[in-house]
């Protein structure tokens, strides 16, 4: 039985969908004005894992992750870049798709763009005005009146009084209450706008505020009430609080509020040096930067290795550690021809795996099962265990590549190469270095040794070994090791992998 930690209740609750066997899930996606960073990666990977587990558990899932393609930052950035908003957002949507695909994130069922739902937003704002939850200010902005919504603060655990006390919001003279938030922004020069019936000095022309987007897209696609709403912890307030205020007020019938979401899920932050990674702090690493150095599966593994609600500290050291751990799993799978048969959920390890994920998606515990299975594979060489390992890992979107592809695939070897004697080693040069540079004493650059070259060296070493010339054999091995190639002898022959 699946249990989910519900932010609304601040406890784990048994998950009961609105419609038996079906799950409707909405996750706040990205504002596309820049490349995604690791914080975004975490949201994508975490809720990808959630949707995978729900499907594995037999639910029919509709997963919606929106795209915010109109907002202050987008307008500003497009102006800076001298490109249209459409060009800018399209570029970064493509980049996001690339990044998420590399991380093994499956596409959500629907990825609505805010700009396609402006009509719906106007409708909902009109309904809010009509019901007395919103008002048109003198400047043409439309604000939500928080005082009129009884449950304001129920998600974030804040009261209006507390909020006002610690208030850092700039005083906007157009607002009736400092906590009121904007639903519709009256048009400004050089900004895109849509017509609306809200009136005001600009005849209603304007564009939607951020919060209203999600209320409209979620209810349009999933209905007035749906099962799960997810997002990063930082969206809890004010974004999600405002979504509730908008949706529940707009969808109230005869004065009775309609509960918008049954289970609110929030993932923890990615941190750098114990501080939240964010655009505003400037301490962020984009996904593509990290992928220059680390295999995408290592990054996915790194994210799933921690519980989704815990903070996750990012550093090269942690990624290195994750890489070694994942290497252990792939090493266990190496040489096994694994069957793609259905998972036997009666198997003790499968049962343990299921129990872990059913307990609020406890991926660290599920991972422990994977390592126990790897140990079993190494010990018994049993194909069944290897199959189970691969298939269970597949539920998390891991371990699906050929082991050798992971272990031998090209990785970039940094620095230090200048000291190596690579004479005669067929080296393929990538990046900034050149062949001669790589072999010179002060080479700075990156290179990878071709697989064919490695095989040649293994042959040479084998010959040396046969001739009992161990000094030569060790020299070759050492040289390869310095180049990041580790040799492993076994009764079946010599295999290799990249460090």
Which CB, 47 or 59, lies closer to RNA? 47
We find the least distance from the C-beta atom of residue 310 to RNA, in angstroms, to be: 4
Asked whether position 43 contacts RNA by CB under 7 A, the answer is yes
Asked whether position 351 contacts RNA by CB under 7 A, the answer is no
Asked whether position 76 contacts RNA by CB under 7 A, the answer is no
Asked whether position 168 contacts RNA by CB under 7 A, the answer is yes
Which CB, 181 or 184, lies closer to RNA? 181
We find the least distance from the C-beta atom of residue 38 to RNA, in angstroms, to be: 7
Q: What character string, x for contact with RNA (CB under 7 A) and - otherwise, covers 215-254?
A: ----------------xxxxxxxxx---------------
Supply the DSSP symbol for 113.
B
Asked whether position 210 contacts RNA by CB under 7 A, the answer is yes
C-beta separation of 178 from 172 below 8 A: yes
Q: Which residue of 132, 201, 364, 426 would you call a contact of RNA, by CB under 7 A?
A: 364
| Total site size for RNA, rule CB under 7 A | 81
Asked whether position 365 contacts RNA by CB under 7 A, the answer is yes
- Phi/psi at 406 (nearest 5 deg)? -70, -45
Please give the Cα distance from 244 to 494 (Å, whole number). Answer: 61
Looking up tokens 């937003």 gives: 121
Which CB, 40 or 354, lies closer to RNA? 40
Point out which span in 38-46, 84-92, 252-260, 411-419 binds RNA (CB under 7 A).
Answer: 38-46
Candidates 71, 73, 183, 68; CA nearest to 114 is: 68
Find the helix or strand (DSSP H, E) in which 216 lies.
helix 210-222
Asked whether position 480 contacts RNA by CB under 7 A, the answer is no
Asked whether position 202 contacts RNA by CB under 7 A, the answer is no
| Neighbouring residues of 381: CB distance < 8 A, sequence distance ≥ 6 | none
Point out which span in 110-118, 272-280, 290-298, 335-343 binds RNA (CB under 7 A).
Answer: 272-280
We find the least distance from the C-beta atom of residue 79 to RNA, in angstroms, to be: 17
C-beta separation of 446 from 432 below 8 A: yes
We find the least distance from the C-beta atom of residue 407 to RNA, in angstroms, to be: 10
We find the least distance from the C-beta atom of residue 125 to RNA, in angstroms, to be: 17
Asked whether position 40 contacts RNA by CB under 7 A, the answer is yes
We find the least distance from the C-beta atom of residue 195 to RNA, in angstroms, to be: 24
We find the least distance from the C-beta atom of residue 183 to RNA, in angstroms, to be: 13
Candidates 473, 475, 496, 472; CA nearest to 486 is: 496
Candidates 355, 257, 247, 265; CA nearest to 9 is: 265
C-beta separation of 135 from 145 below 8 A: yes
Residues 306 to 345 in contact with RNA, rule: CB under 7 A: 306-307, 310-313, 317-318, 321, 324-325, 328, 331-332
Asked whether position 181 contacts RNA by CB under 7 A, the answer is yes
| Neighbouring residues of 480: CB distance < 8 A, sequence distance ≥ 6 | 449, 454, 457, 486, 487, 496
List the structure tokens of 495: 């295999």
Beta-carbon-side half-sphere exposure of residue 99 (alpha carbons within 13 Å): 29
List the structure tokens of 203: 């005849």
We find the least distance from the C-beta atom of residue 422 to RNA, in angstroms, to be: 20
Q: Which residue of 54, 78, 122, 374 would you call a contact of RNA, by CB under 7 A?
A: 374
Asked whether position 477 contacts RNA by CB under 7 A, the answer is yes
Supply the DSSP symbol for 40.
H
Asked whether position 279 contacts RNA by CB under 7 A, the answer is yes
Asked whether position 278 contacts RNA by CB under 7 A, the answer is yes
Asked whether position 289 contacts RNA by CB under 7 A, the answer is no
349: exposed, middle or buried (Cβ count in 10 Å: 0-12, 13-18, 19+): middle
We find the least distance from the C-beta atom of residue 268 to RNA, in angstroms, to be: 7
We find the least distance from the C-beta atom of residue 55 to RNA, in angstroms, to be: 22
Asked whether position 88 contacts RNA by CB under 7 A, the answer is no
Please give the Cα distance from 470 to 498 (Å, whole number). Answer: 22
Point out which span in 128-136, 196-204, 275-283, 425-433 binds RNA (CB under 7 A).
Answer: 275-283
Candidates 287, 279, 297, 235; CA nearest to 261 is: 235
Point out which span in 52-60, 192-200, 265-273, 417-425 binds RNA (CB under 7 A).
Answer: 265-273
Asked whether position 456 contacts RNA by CB under 7 A, the answer is no
């Amino acid at each position: 039985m699946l249990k989910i930690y519900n932010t609304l209740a601040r406890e784990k609750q048994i998950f009961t969908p609105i419609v038996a066997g079906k799950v409707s899930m909405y996750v706040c996606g990205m504002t596309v004005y820049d490349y995604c960073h690791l914080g975004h990666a975490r949201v994508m990977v975490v809720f990808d894992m959630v949707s995978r587990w729900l499907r594995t558990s037999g639910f029919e899932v509709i997963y919606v992750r929106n795209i915010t393609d109109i907002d202050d930052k987008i307008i500003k950035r497009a102006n800076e870049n001298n490109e249209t908003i459409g060009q800018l957002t399209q570029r970064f949507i493509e980049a996001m798709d690339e990044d998420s695909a590399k991380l093994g994130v499956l596409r959500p069922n629907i990825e609505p763009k805010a700009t396609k739902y402006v009509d719906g937003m106007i409708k909902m704002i009109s309904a809010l005005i009509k019901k007395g939850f919103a008002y048109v200010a003198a400047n043409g902005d439309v604000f939500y009146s928080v005082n009129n919504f009884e449950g304001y603060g129920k998600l974030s655990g804040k009261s209006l009084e507390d909020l006002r006390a610690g208030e850092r919001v700039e005083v906007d003279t157009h607002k009736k209450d400092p906590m009121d938030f904007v639903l519709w922004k009256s048009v400004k020069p050089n900004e895109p706008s849509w017509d609306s019936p809200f009136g005001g000095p600009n005849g209603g022309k304007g564009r939607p505020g951020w919060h209203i987007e999600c209320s409209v897209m979620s209810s349009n696609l999933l209905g007035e009430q749906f099962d799960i709403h997810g997002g990063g912890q930082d969206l809890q307030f004010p974004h999600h609080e405002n979504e509730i205020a908008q949706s529940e007020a707009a969808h109230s019938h005869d004065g009775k509020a309609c509960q918008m979401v049954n289970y609110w899920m929030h993932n923890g932050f990615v941190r750098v040096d114990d501080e939240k990674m964010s655009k505003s702090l400037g301490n962020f690493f984009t996904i593509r930067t990290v992928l220059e150095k680390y295999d995408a599966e290592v990054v996915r593994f790194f994210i799933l290795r921690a519980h989704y609600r815990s903070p996750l500290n990012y550093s090269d050291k942690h990624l290195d550690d994750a890489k070694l751990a994942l290497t252990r799993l792939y090493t266990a799978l190496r040489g096994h021809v694994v069957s793609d048969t259905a998972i036997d959920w009666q198997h003790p390890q499968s049962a343990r795996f299921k129990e872990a994920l059913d307990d609020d998606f406890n991926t660290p515990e599920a991972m422990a099962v994977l390592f126990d299975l790897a140990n079993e594979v190494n010990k018994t060489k049993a194909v069944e265990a290897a199959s189970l390992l691969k298939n269970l890992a597949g539920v998390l979107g891991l371990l699906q590549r050929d082991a050798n592809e992971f272990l031998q695939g090209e990785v970039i070897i940094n620095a230090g190469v200048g000291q190596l004697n690579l004479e005669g080693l067929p080296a393929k040069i990538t990046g900034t270095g050149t062949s001669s540079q790589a072999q010179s004493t002060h080479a700075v650059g990156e290179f990878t040794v071709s697989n064919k070259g490695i095989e040649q060296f293994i042959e040479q070493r084998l010959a040396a070994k046969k001739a009992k010339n161990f000094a030569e054999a060790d020299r070759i091995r050492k040289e390869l090791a310095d180049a990041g190639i580790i040799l492993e002898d076994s009764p079946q022959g010599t295999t290799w992998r990249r460090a």
